[in-house]
Amino acid sequence: MENVTIGLALVAGILSFISPCVLPLVPAYIGYMGGRLTHNVSRQAATGTVATVSLALRLQMLLHGIAFVLGFTIVFVLIGLFTTALSSLAGQHVSAFTEILGRVGGMVIIFFGFQFMGVLPRFFAWLRKKGQAGILDNILFSIAFTMLASALIYWAFLEQAAVALPLIAVLAVTLFAKGAFAEPANFWHGAMDRLESLLYSDTRADIGGSGRDGLLGSTFMGMVFSAGWTPCIGPLLGTILTVAAASGASSGDIAQGMLLLTAYSIGLGIPFVITALLMNSAQGLLRRLQRHMHKIELLSGTLLIAIGLLVASGQLQSLSQTFSRGEFADFTFRVEECGVGFFNGELDLSHLGACLGGSLAPVAINQSASGILAPDKPQQEYLFHGETGRKIDFEVRSVNEDVPDFELILFGPSEEELARAGKADSLESDGRYYPLAGFELPSDGKYRVALRNTSAADTSRFRVKARDAEAIARPDSTPPEAADAQSSEPALSDDAMNSFADIAADLEPAVGLAAGNRAPAFTIETLDGEDLALSSLRDQVVLLNFWGTWCGPCRREMPEFQKAYEEWHERGLEILAIAYNDTEEAMFSFRDEFALSFPLALDDSGEINESYGIQTRPSSYLLDRDGVILARHFGIMTEAQLSEMLHEAFAQT
């Protein structure tokens, strides 16, 4: 996944449409487009417009779908860039921006819902009628409106007085200058006339087929829905965000990151545009149901109001985040992995079902793949492309325990069985088993490897790899070269030996950031006000996570960290999450929101982030009980990846 092309980004976006966390966005989109369609047909019937579905009307619905996609593309690309590449500049302000956009946009969606269901025209007619009875010409009506609007502005801008109060002041001055308090009846009659004229011109544009004003509304709706939605971070999108994160290096990198994000977003938008075209065919059906049109308007408007409430309250985003974790996240990874594998020719159409079901995965030669064999899933398969005459070692090793009895079966490009071997037949070296060592591939094509657990064990975690062949020796034999070297090695005299202290110093791991190095030392103050030194966490397996409250992927992986902490803490796991370019207030709120119980700390100066070479967030380092780096992970970490890392870490320490 390192070399991401625009074509791959586009394909990944299309595949993301069927990922679980897009599910909340689909009914929201259909609700908005369906409400607009119903409103359009209803107004056509009311104005006596010809009932045929013209090319212009079909084009109009298509353009609204494109405008919607453009709206969430703009926000998605900018947010993706800010939260990764420009985190030092944007920081936590990105999260505040999306929340404000969600609250303001949610209220706008609710307004459109009332408009589409016909409530607003009836309400205005009622006000005009009651205006003669002293409602509109009463200054108390203007005061009540000002108070209600001020409360909504204050809430929409996150109860931040520094932002909300100037806007409220502008509103009050504008109302006063326009005569809302001196001549309230004239002001409110004029305001309703202007608003109805604006809404009517939008409807008239839709009916006429141009829809320029309506297109701006659809673009805004796309921006609003993007604020209430969080994309699933699959392997390819994670790579794209990493490319964007590296964009601080040059303007060329920034352009590349934005181009890939745009391609991904356009790919995601293609199914939405197709949906708009399919919905367009419903215009004829709606015309045949004109006698039920009022009920249809009420239903579509009510749906839109419900969606607006979800967006404004943040529940749509919470639902999206729920669908981006656990098994849903695993399915998202498989969708991307299998779809991109098919696009690259690594999988055939016949393999897609097994791949999406999780029983088969595409791999490359020399690429390690992991899995779990359980009673309900006793076999795992992998597919790789090989060339004639290439010699391959098939390697099997356990992640967290001794390798159980297994059987490995190799199938050729024509699905013929080429070889079969078990644990007892394998060469063994350093805990790795080689059931087929030095196997020469007979032809070009796709080879399928099936690994079966033949032991009585309930569950086993393993890694399997098809790698280029190397010389492998049995553990009970000594290679001739090594024997010759041992026999010719002169004995060391006492005078030539260093002291034990010198030997220990020579064996001490060097400080660095690569696996096998000792992690750089530091001391930091936790959110609870305690000084915590990394050296004080010796004798524990430590997961260092670099994050931020403003970081969308960080929000999605933190619940998985908390779950792992609760499961592994008593066995010696400690998690230290270090934020940067953040505030303690935001961190306290974040900790309460996700009920985090492991230590959080703020790296005010950025020195620790710099010493660990952090370029993107989230990033994680896993340390053993001696403070030596076992693994590094840049980007979001799934539950399966985290579980595998921890099982392997505790197996080694």
Query: What average pLDDT does this structure show over 485-506?
Result: 39
| Closest residue by Cα to residue 35 from 72, 70, 61, 6 | 61
> pLDDT digit string (tens) for 118-127?
788 888 888 8
Distance CA 100, CA 648 (A): 43
Taking a C-beta distance cutoff of 8 angstroms, is the pair 46, 204 a contact? no
pLDDT of 304: 80
> pLDDT digit string (tens) for 529-554?
999 999 999 899 999 999 988 776 78
B/e letters for 48-58, b = 16+ CB within 10 Å, e = fewer, are: ebeeebeeebb
The residues facing 628 across adjacent strands are: 518
CA 563 to chain centre: 19
pLDDT of 254: 63
Q: Judging by DSSP bridges, how do beta strands 600-602 and 629-634 pair with one another?
A: unpaired
pLDDT of 527: 92
Strands of the sheet containing 369-373, edge to edge, are: 369-373, 460-468, 391-398, 432-440, 427-429
> pLDDT digit string (tens) for 159-192?
888 889 999 999 999 999 999 999 988 899 899 8
Q: Pick the more confident residue, 244 or 209.
A: 244
pLDDT of 619: 87
> pLDDT digit string (tens) for 410-462?
999 999 999 999 988 888 887 788 999 899 999 999 999 999 888 766 667 77
| Closest residue by Cα to residue 464 from 442, 444, 439, 434 | 434
Upper half-sphere CA count for residue 33 (Cβ side, 13 Å): 31
Q: Pick the more confident residue, 319 or 204.
A: 319
Q: pLDDT-based confidence at 293, cuts 50/70/90?
A: low
User: Residue 444 CB: number of other CB atoms within 10 A?
Assistant: 12
| Closest residue by Cα to residue 160 from 591, 586, 645 | 586
CA 393 to chain centre: 36
pLDDT of 442: 94
- Could you tell me the CA-to-CA distances from 317 to 365, 511, 556 in Å, in that order? 39, 42, 11
Query: What average pLDDT does this structure show over 628-653?
Result: 82
Q: Of the ranges 281-285, 323-327, 329-333, which is most confident? A: 329-333
pLDDT of 653: 65
Q: pLDDT-based confidence at 641, cuts 50/70/90?
A: confident
Q: What is the sign of the dihedral through the CA atoms of 151, 157, 159 and 163?
A: negative
Taking a C-beta distance cutoff of 8 angstroms, is the pair 409, 420 a contact? yes
Share of the chain above pLDDT 70, in %: 73
Q: pLDDT-based confidence at 388, cuts 50/70/90?
A: very high
What does the angle CA 63 – CA 64 – CA 65 come to, to the nearest 5 degrees? 90
pLDDT of 129: 78
pLDDT of 516: 85
Query: What average pLDDT does this structure show over 245-250?
Result: 46
pLDDT tops 80 at residue 286: no
Taking a C-beta distance cutoff of 8 angstroms, is the pair 338, 357 a contact? no
Within 157-250, residue ranges assigned H as helices are 161-177, 184-208, 212-227, 235-245
pLDDT of 531: 92
Query: What average pLDDT does this structure show over 8-12?
Result: 82
pLDDT of 596: 94
Distance CA 465, CA 577 (A): 33
| Closest residue by Cα to residue 231 from 317, 358, 330, 106 | 317
Q: Pick the more confident residue, 23 or 194.
A: 194
| Closest residue by Cα to residue 84 from 552, 546, 610 | 552
Share of the chain above pLDDT 90, in %: 22
pLDDT tops 50 at residue 248: no
pLDDT of 623: 95
